[in-house]
A and B are shown apart, each in its own frame.
Chain A
Amino acid sequence: MPIEEDPEGYEIAALDGLVSFASRRVLEIGCGDGRMTRRYARSARSVIAIDPDGEAIAELARELPTVDARAIAVDELLLPAQSVDLVLFAWSL
């Protein structure tokens, strides 16, 4: 078995206890390879996921083609004001 992160699901359980992703336009900052993204993407209305790591973003884009995955840093992000419902900083501050 390879390295396993949070197999107990404590992270998504804690997150689900605080927010609902259902029908929300989500921006995830620092998504990495989409470890967290894949846990909520299906319920969100739309997902933009950004990370400066191009390889990780390519992996995420292959696995979740409906996610708008961008290999950029937050200061390169071009989005209109008030255009998403939920901004998620995923271990990225």
Chain B
Amino acid sequence: MVDALRRAHEIVTPGGLVVDLHPTTAVASVEVGAHSTGRVDGGDAPLRHAAAGAALATVLDAGLFAVDRAVEFTFYTYGDTIEELRDYIEENWRNSRIDETVVRRTRDALRDAPGTRPRVREQVRITKLHPIALADG
């Protein structure tokens, strides 16, 4: 991760920008409407997301970049059914799953909220960085 950021520093123009988006360490959750029905078992995801933050901190400490701004937003993934969401997460997210207890709880919540699509909620951070020119020599 640090190597990729160092490479970005080489490739970008001095007046250019580097922008990173990655989920925060907050655990992703399953929702029906605004109600959480449980967590996504993300395996080592919080550790990986923390490592991304640590990589950014490393290049900032090294004086390669300065933070211009950072913002967080919520990212939702919707399915027609909880089973569809469960299968999607298992196939497309690394080492992640929605366990059967959460599936059952979501099914029950959907029964009480006809027309609502289940969703997975993630919190994502965007950081805008300016490259800092390295001193010669």
Cα A19 to Cα B130 with chains together (Å): 12
Q: On chain B, which size bracket covers the interface?
A: 35 or more
**Interface presence of B101 (CB below 8 A):** no
Which chain B positions have C-beta within 8 A of A74? 3-4, 7
List of B residues within 8 angstroms of A84 by Cβ = 11-13, 16
Q: Of B11, B18, B69, B75, which contacts A11 at CB under 8 A?
A: B75
In this complex, the interface size class of chain A, counting residues with CB under 8 Å from chain B, is 35 or more
Contact assessment for A4 and B7 in the assembled complex, using a CB-CB cutoff below 8 Å: no
Is B39 close to A, CB under 8 A? no
By a CB distance below 8 angstroms, the chain B residues around A75 are 3-4, 7
CB of B118 to closest CB in A, whole Å: 11
B8: CB under 8 A from chain A? yes
With known contacts A89-B4, A93-B5, A3–B79 Cβ distance under 8 A: yes
The reply to whether B73 and A14 form a contact with Cβ atoms under 8 Å apart is: yes
Residue of B nearest to A88 (CB): B19
| Beyond A89-B21, A92-B22, A93-B55, 8 additional pairs, beta carbon < 8 A | A3-B78, A3-B79, A10-B74, A18-B128, A75-B3, A82-B14, A83-B13, A87-B12
Question: What are the 5 closest A-B residue pairs judged by CB atoms, nearest first?
Answer: A93-B52, A14-B73, A87-B8, A89-B20, A85-B16
